[in-house]
Copies of this chain bind each other. A is one copy, B any other.
Amino acid sequence: MQDEAKPRDPKATAAAVAELLAAFGNNRVVTSQTVREQHGHTASWHRNQPPEAVVFAQSAEDVQQVVRICAAHRVPVIPFGAGSSLEGQLNAPQGGISIDLHDMNRILAVHAEDLDVVVEPGVTRKQLNDYLRDQGLFFPIDPGADASIGGMAATRASGTNAVRYGTMKDNVIALKAVLASGEIVTTARRAKKSSAGYDLTRLLVGSEGTLGIITEITLRLHGIPEAISAGSCPFPSVEAACNAAILTIQSGIPVARIELLDELQVKASNAYSKLGLPEMPLLCVEFHGSAASVAEQSESFGEIAKELGGGPFEWATRPEDRTRLWQARHDGYWAACGLRPGAQAVPTDVCVPISRLAECVVESQRDVAVSGLIAPIVGHVGDGNFHMQLLVDVDDADEMARAEHLLHRLAERAIAMDGTCTGEHGVGQGKMKYLAAEHGEVALGAMRAIKRALDPDNIMNPGKIIRLD
């Protein structure tokens, strides 16, 4: 999937590591094989390309010092949050130093009246929501894993709530980040909107550490809804389920979550989470609002579902019923793994205009059938975004070739439908080869020009997103 790991200059790295050891000591600069491998590890099938050392940063000043030392030796730096990225974002194909931001996990300020919070990058979304709950506030972006906020910003993460609350692009108000020069940039102030200059915030969100290392994030918050209802509804076909989602959104129902599970995923989740659902395409939905509004939204959705041949739709407002449903949805990864114990999970995602979603899912299911592989599908169907999780034997070369072919066809299909090769996992190493087809050479040229302008020596997470040579 990627080039062999090739450190740029072993002497330069050795010199940088020696300086880092002198600055931080050997408790915070670790070169053991285990720790290095763990920091190159990605929750995917990409081959491990460990960094040459890991530095545990405790402050933005630490990050600045590491970047300055590495910059002086032209040694790559790779930021590490919770390690939950999926496309090789954490690998070190050109060697270099991983900067672990886990210990930078302070919640710096909650501004309840302004509905925002300022956090360090190592804060995880569960930690943040546990902290906020007593104040009646929550941060909605939910990529499934208990990812770090810094990593979520860096990969432009989203998840089940994005249909209502947007993605990280919409929920990051401002960032601080260490640039390749070692300087700290502040991208914006705390005002809810601004027209004052280039949008450096959105440029850094999704840049996967290739333009800067995020050291502080100001996030938009939301009030915990007065009422929440959730439920699931089977449909006779993927088309019917997708059409129900389209109609729900077109009708202006402010659905908070609307998730598709295909037949195979329902089967897997039945087995794993003891759901007892019919093995048919399923939509799981959630509504937020006042008690009256949530009831009205649920009823309106029920009518739409019925109109499209779906049902029965049963909705619940009891927290324990909702928790059970969404726990099952979030356990979808493990449930899918249960379909083929011992196999390697290869998760991928694409996103298409919602009008093309059913077609994209159905064609992909046909592809899976032809391939002979096992690959359930779950989707954030309100956004046209879906995941396919291939279960493969990495030691079987023929099977791996079929898997790669399937991934390739999926990315190309999404792009051909005016969609994207990744809706939320990011590019990392795995999706680099699709960017030319998706964006065209002029856009890639502009991205390269920006990268070179901000990181002339290409030390910030090199070998990710775009190739410079």
Q: Which residues from chain A sit less than 8 Å from chain B, CB to CB?
A: 111-116, 155-158, 162, 166-167, 169-170, 179, 183-200, 202-203, 205-207, 211, 222-223, 225-226, 246, 249-252, 254, 288-290, 292-293, 296, 300, 351-355, 383-385, 414-415, 418-427, 431, 434-435, 438-440, 442-447, 449-454, 465-466
Contacts and interface: CB of A to CB of B under 8 A. Distances in A.
Contacts of A156: 194-195, 199
Contact of A353 (B114, B424, B434, B465): B114
Nearest to A211: B198
Contacts of A415: 189
Contacts of A251: 223
A192 B158 CA distance: 12
Contacts of A192: 351, 353-354, 383-385
30 contacts: A111-B355, A156-B195, A156-B199, A167-B193, A185-B443, A186-B443, A189-B415, A190-B418, A190-B419, A191-B351, A191-B385, A192-B354, A192-B383, A193-B423, A194-B422, A195-B425, A196-B427, A196-B434, A196-B439, A197-B427, A197-B447, A198-B203, A202-B202, A202-B203, A226-B252, A252-B290, A292-B293, A293-B293, A446-B454, A449-B454
A223 B197 contact: no
B443 A187 contact: yes
A196 B435 contact: yes
Contacts of A290: 252, 296, 300
A449 B444 CA distance: 17
Given A166-B170, A191-B351, A385-B193, A115 B442 contact: no
A167 B355 CA distance: 25
B196 A431 contact: yes
Given A170-B170, A250-B223, A296-B293, A196 B418 contact: no
Contacts of A193: 158, 162, 167, 169, 351, 383, 385, 420, 423-424
How many copies, total?
2
A263 B454 CA distance: 48
A194 B431 CA distance: 12
Contact of A206 (B157, B197, B351, B385): B197
A206 B198 CA distance: 6
A195 B447 contact: no
B438 A353 contact: no
Contact of A115 (B116, B157, B250, B254): B250
A86 to B, nearest CB: 10
Contact of A289 (B211, B252, B424): B252
A354 B207 CA distance: 29
A183 B288 CA distance: 45
A450 B447 contact: no
Nearest to A380: B193
Nearest 6 A/B pairs, CB to CB = A202-B202, A453-B453, A194-B420, A113-B355, A449-B453, A191-B351
B191 A199 contact: no
A116 B289 CA distance: 26
A321 B356 CA distance: 41
A197 B225 CA distance: 33
A239 to B, nearest CB: 13
Nearest to A354: B114
Given A189-B438, A226-B252, 17 more contacts: A114-B354, A169-B199, A189-B415, A192-B383, A193-B423, A194-B420, A195-B425, A196-B421, A196-B438, A196-B439, A197-B439, A198-B465, A199-B203, A200-B443, A222-B252, A252-B288, A254-B254
Contacts of A431: 196
Given A198-B450, A202-B169, A189 B419 contact: yes
A225 to B, nearest CB: 6
A175 to B, nearest CB: 10
Contacts of A451: 198
Nearest to A290: B296
For A189, A449, A454, the residue with the greatest tally of chain B CB atoms inside 10 Å of its CB is: A189
A113 B419 contact: no
Nearest to A194: B420
A184 B445 CA distance: 11
A449 B455 CA distance: 10
